[in-house]
Amino acid sequence: SEEEEEESIIMTLSMVGNSLGGLYGRYALTELTHIFRNDNSCSNNIHKNDDSNNNNINNNSDDRSNNESNNNDNNKSNPPRIIPLIFCTTSSPHLGVSRETFVELPRWTEPYVSSAFRQRTMDDLFRVNGSTVVMDMCRRRDDNYDGNNSGNKDEKDDNNPSDDGGSSNNNNNGGGGGSGGGSSYRSHRSHREYLRPLGQFRKRIAVANAYNTDFLVSVSSGAFLSSESDSIHYHLDSDVTVKQQQSLSLRLMKDIEHVALQVVTLPEEDGDDDNAILPTSSMTGRDKVKSDVDDHDHDDDTSHCVNALDRLGWHKIFIDTRNLLPNFLNLPIPALKPANNNNDKASRHEAYYTSGELRDHFQRYGTLLPVAHPLNMANSRTDWYRKLTKGGQPIVDALAELLVLDMIEFSEKIDES
């Protein structure tokens, strides 16, 4: 009834993740979706972008007092509607760090470097020793997977101590730190649906540090760029018609001196194009280790991952903090070339850059002091950090303003509907 609809609670969800927090956020979304799928009172009321109808479920609780049953009836008859608004990452290694370190390492050395840290997180980021979580997060779930099993239970990981009697207490780490993590958990994780929950947000924002000013996260990983990808990024300052055609918010981050460029990728519907998603891996743990040093497979996976993420639609902001450093530490960088205007490529009249063009330009070395990782978030966890990063406060303020205004705009649209 109308009275029941009025009593329904609307909850909005926005997420901001810095550094690894961006990856953890993407992972957590999938876990939350899995939980909601098993809790019908929540899953049926996740308000998607397509404004699909919400369904109520019947209360099936037993063996409770009448008062408790009545309360449960009321709660489940009008569960909250969860509306995803903004998902934002800042300096997050969406592609991991393999081939993306400040001084690029040969692929064959990365397993040894990762092993030296003795942390599962480094295996995940370097994509070595059988870890595939970074690429798994660019895949859609197997059509044959029902969401309630752990995938190929017979699959064994020869490099996992839990497979031969070792500890498996860290199986809930996901992409986090620590050692261990059983093969059944890896298979279970690789069959999760990662892209669709992320695609439910009204807007996705990725902030990345340009010109190798970030020692920990490259611009390619932070803004998921690939030299092998021709994914189109429209220049937001170039043509109003692109902005009018977007379903996402078209507000730009304030034009401060530290913003080098803002671009947008257009959201696309799922199709049959093989480049839209990564195929589900059927390799065993042993095969994955063998492929760790295969440069061709590595680049191909990276390109697929970039395309899969770009198809969700993103507002990408490239930050240049070199003017906060002494001039003698900065290196000369050629100016960014004008955006393309090739109708055959873009099928529109708007100016654009390809993913490969943006990577080739922003991946250049621009400084001898790559401290942008804490700088662009004005990290103030210690007095020393506060002094070092105070110049980055305008960046944080401008991003916060963008997020708040976007959330207000989307909330007002929800109220109107």
In tens, the pLDDT along 319-329 reads 999 998 889 99
CA distance 335 to 14: 35
Of 112-116, 191-195, 260-264, 295-299, the range with the lowest mean pLDDT is 295-299
How many angstroms separate the first and last alpha carbons of the chain? 17
Average pLDDT over residues 380-408: 90
Closest of 353, 355, 227, 211 to residue 295, by C-alpha: 227
Task: Reply yes or no on whether the pLDDT at 264 is more than 90.
Answer: yes
CA distance 85 to 49: 9
% pLDDT > 70, the chain? 64
Closest of 234, 299, 227 to residue 263, by C-alpha: 234
CA distance 236 to 240: 8
In tens, the pLDDT along 125-180 reads 999 988 889 999 998 764 333 333 333 333 333 333 333 333 333 333 333 333 33
% pLDDT > 90, the chain? 43
Average pLDDT over residues 291-310: 78
More confident residue, 381 or 257: 257
Confidence of residue 307 (pLDDT cuts 50, 70, 90): very high
More confident residue, 180 or 81: 81
**Lookup: tokens for 199:** 């695609």
- Sign, CA dihedral 232-365-304-316, equals negative
pLDDT at residue 265, as a whole number: 93
User: Do the Cβ atoms of 169 and 226 come closer than 8 Å?
Assistant: no
pLDDT at residue 48, as a whole number: 53
CA distance 380 to 384: 8
Confidence of residue 342 (pLDDT cuts 50, 70, 90): low
Strands, E, within 42-174: which ranges?
A: 81-90
Task: Reply yes or no on whether the pLDDT at 362 is more than 60.
Answer: yes
Task: Reply yes or no on whether the pLDDT at 76 is more than 90.
Answer: no
Q: Is 162 helix (H, G, I), strand (E, B) or coil?
A: helix
| Chain center to CA of 136 | 12
Which distant-in-sequence residues (6+ apart) come within 8 Å of 327 by Cβ?
A: none
pLDDT at residue 207, as a whole number: 97
In tens, the pLDDT along 214-230 reads 999 999 999 999 999 99
Q: Which residues pair with 83 in a beta bridge?
A: 12
CA distance 96 to 18: 14
Its pTM stands at: 0.75
**Most trustworthy range by pLDDT among 149-153, 232-236, 295-299:** 232-236
DSSP string, 217-277: S-HHHHTT--TT---EEEETTT-HHHHHH-SS--PPPP--TTEEEEEEEPP----S-GGGS
Count how many Cα atoms sit within 13 Å of the Cα of residue 127 in the half-sphere of its side chain. Answer: 26
In tens, the pLDDT along 15-58 reads 999 999 999 999 999 888 877 766 655 545 555 554 433 333 23
pLDDT at residue 134, as a whole number: 92
pLDDT at residue 25, as a whole number: 96
Confidence of residue 370 (pLDDT cuts 50, 70, 90): very high
In tens, the pLDDT along 268-284 reads 865 434 333 333 333 33
Assign residue 170 a region: left if phi > 0, alpha if psi is -120 to 50, beta otherwise?
A: alpha
